[in-house]
Amino acid sequence: MLNLIKKAQNGNDKAFLTLFQKYEQDIFRTAFIYVKNQSDALDVVQETAYRSFKSIKNLKEPKYFKTWLIRIAISCAIDLLRKQKNVIQMRTEFEEFISRDINEDIDLEMTVRDLIERLNEDEKSVIILRFYEGLTIKEVSETLEIPLGTAKTILYRAIDKLRKDLKGDGLYEQ
Partner 1 sequence: MNNRIKQEMYRIEIPKELNERSKMGVSKAKYEMGKPKRRWSYIIGAVIAASLTLSIFGPNYFSNNPPENPIIRTMETNTVIDIDDPREVVGFSDNVFLGKVIKKVGSKSLNDYPETQFNVEVLDSIKGELKGTIKVNQQGGYDGEYLFLMENDKLLVEGHTYLFATRYLKEENWHTVIPVGGDIPFNSDEEKKELIEKYKKAYDEEIPFKLK
- The answer to whether the beta carbons of residues 98 and 156 sit under 8 Å apart is yes
Amino acid at 101: D
Choices 29-37, 81-89, 91-99, 165-173; region in contact with partner 1 by CB under 8 A: 29-37
User: Nearer to partner 1 by C-beta: 89 or 111?
Assistant: 111
Which member of 1, 6, 46, 117 binds partner 1 (CB under 8 A)?
46
The residue among 130 and 141 lying less far from partner 1, judged by its C-beta, is 130
Would you say 68 and 145 are in contact if contact means Cβ atoms under 8 Å apart?
A: no
Given a contact cutoff of 8 angstroms between Cβ atoms, the answer to whether 13 and 53 are in contact is yes
One of 1, 6, 10, 117 touching partner 1 (CB under 8 A): 10
- Exposed / middle / buried, residue 130 (Cβ in 10 Å: 0-12, 13-18, 19+): buried
Contact 142, 47 (CB under 8 A): no
**Contact residues for partner 1 (CB under 8 A)?**
10-11, 13, 16-17, 20-21, 24-25, 28-29, 32-33, 38, 42-43, 45-51, 53-54, 57, 104-108, 110-112, 115, 127-128, 131-132, 134, 159
